Amino acid sequence: MLKVSQIETYYGPSQALFGVDLSVDTGELVALMGRNGMGKSTTIRSICRLTPAKRGHIVFDGQDLAGLRSFQAARLGIGLVPEGRRCFASLTVQENLIATARPGVWDYTKVVSLFPRLGERAGQMADTLSGGEQQMLAIGRALMTNPKLLILDEATEGLAPVIRQEIWAAIRRLKDAGQSLLVVDKTLSELLPIADACVILEKGRSVWTGRPSALSGDLRDQYLGV
Ligand SMILES: Nc1ncnc2c1ncn2[C@@H]1O[C@H](COP(=O)(O)OP(=O)(O)OP(=O)(O)O)[C@@H](O)[C@H]1O
């Protein structure tokens, strides 16, 4: 479904990615890992065409993304839950969800059944929600676009344990339903058991790809600092 080959990405003159390879097959959950500042968010921004790669190729669902704008990548079926959530503050929960709706299996009723709290808060403005509720809204909003691939960037960061559990339960349900997922998250104890493959980034390069079961203690020490 997604094949990223040797991408190199810059912020102005400053190079952040020096050659990242990764792929996500249909129905797979791929964990994108690495310490702080190693290039995970930049890889995601490159895939979504928010910070386009200068070199290398990204092919999604058979189409090369070169030259596309970010909204066009979204239209092809790449759904992003960005770091920091970015809900529409001046819209209600229901309006946030309906604003991005596109036809498919995910609709308002289904999103609210995944996150009942969103249904309870349907008429509330997004900026009055707790951080955890905003995160659920960000995931729900991405699902409303009916993405072929859903990308989650640190979706459980900084949340209370009980809320994190709700979000992990939702991610597991999505995976069980066959949703293709690319996930960045530091909670490896939750992420690894549901990942089909892991890609480790180090200084803007993909340095290891494999099954979670092959991720040895030495690799974790060397690249993840855990
Ligand atoms: N807007 C920006 N302008 C300039 N450099 C940036 C910008 N955003 C990120 N970088 C740099 O790009 C590199 C990769 O950062 P990136 O945010 O992709 O890493 P990350 O693995 O997602 O880290 P974290 O886990 O801290 O979010 C870092 O050296 C970072 O300082």
Q: What residues are paired with 10 via a beta bridge?
A: 15
- Residues of the chain above pLDDT 90, percent: 92
Q: Does domain 2-77+150-224 have CATH number 3.40.50.300?
A: yes
Alpha helices in 13-126 (DSSP H): 40-47, 70-76, 93-99, 108-114, 116-120
Task: Tell whether the model's pLDDT for residue 51 goes beyond 90.
Answer: yes
Is the confidence at residue 213, as pLDDT, over 70? yes
> How much of the chain exceeds pLDDT 70, in percent?
100
Evaluate if residue 85 carries a pLDDT over 80.
Answer: no
**What CA–CA distance (Å, rounded) separates 178 from 3?**
18
Q: Where are the domains of the chain?
A: 2-77+150-224, 86-147
Find out whether 194 and 172 touch, Cβ atoms under 8 Å. Answer: yes
At 24-44, the pLDDT tens digits run 999 999 999 999 999 999 999
Residues in the chain: 226
- What mean pLDDT do residues 165-178 have? 96
For the residues 115-144, what does the mean pLDDT come to?
Answer: 95
The residues near 125 (Cβ < 8 Å, ≥ 6 apart) are 89, 90, 91, 92
CB 213 near ligand 1, within 6 Å: no
Nearest CA to ligand 1 atom 2: 11
Atom of ligand 1 nearest to the CA of 42: 18
Contact 113, 69 (CB under 8 A): no
To test ligand 1's pocket by mutation, which of 35, 38, 54 has the most ligand atoms within 8 angstroms of CB? 38
State how beta strands 197-202 and 29-33 pair: parallel
Tell me, using a 6 A CB cutoff, whether residue 47 lines ligand 1. no
What confidence category does residue 168 fall into, taking pLDDT thresholds of 50, 70 and 90? very high
**Cβ 37 under 6 angstroms from ligand 1:** yes
Average of per-residue pLDDT across 104-128: 95
Q: Which is more confidently placed, 86 or 68? A: 68
What pLDDT is recorded for position 89? 87
Per the CB < 8 A criterion, the answer to whether 82 and 103 are in contact is: no
Is the confidence at residue 226, as pLDDT, over 80?
no
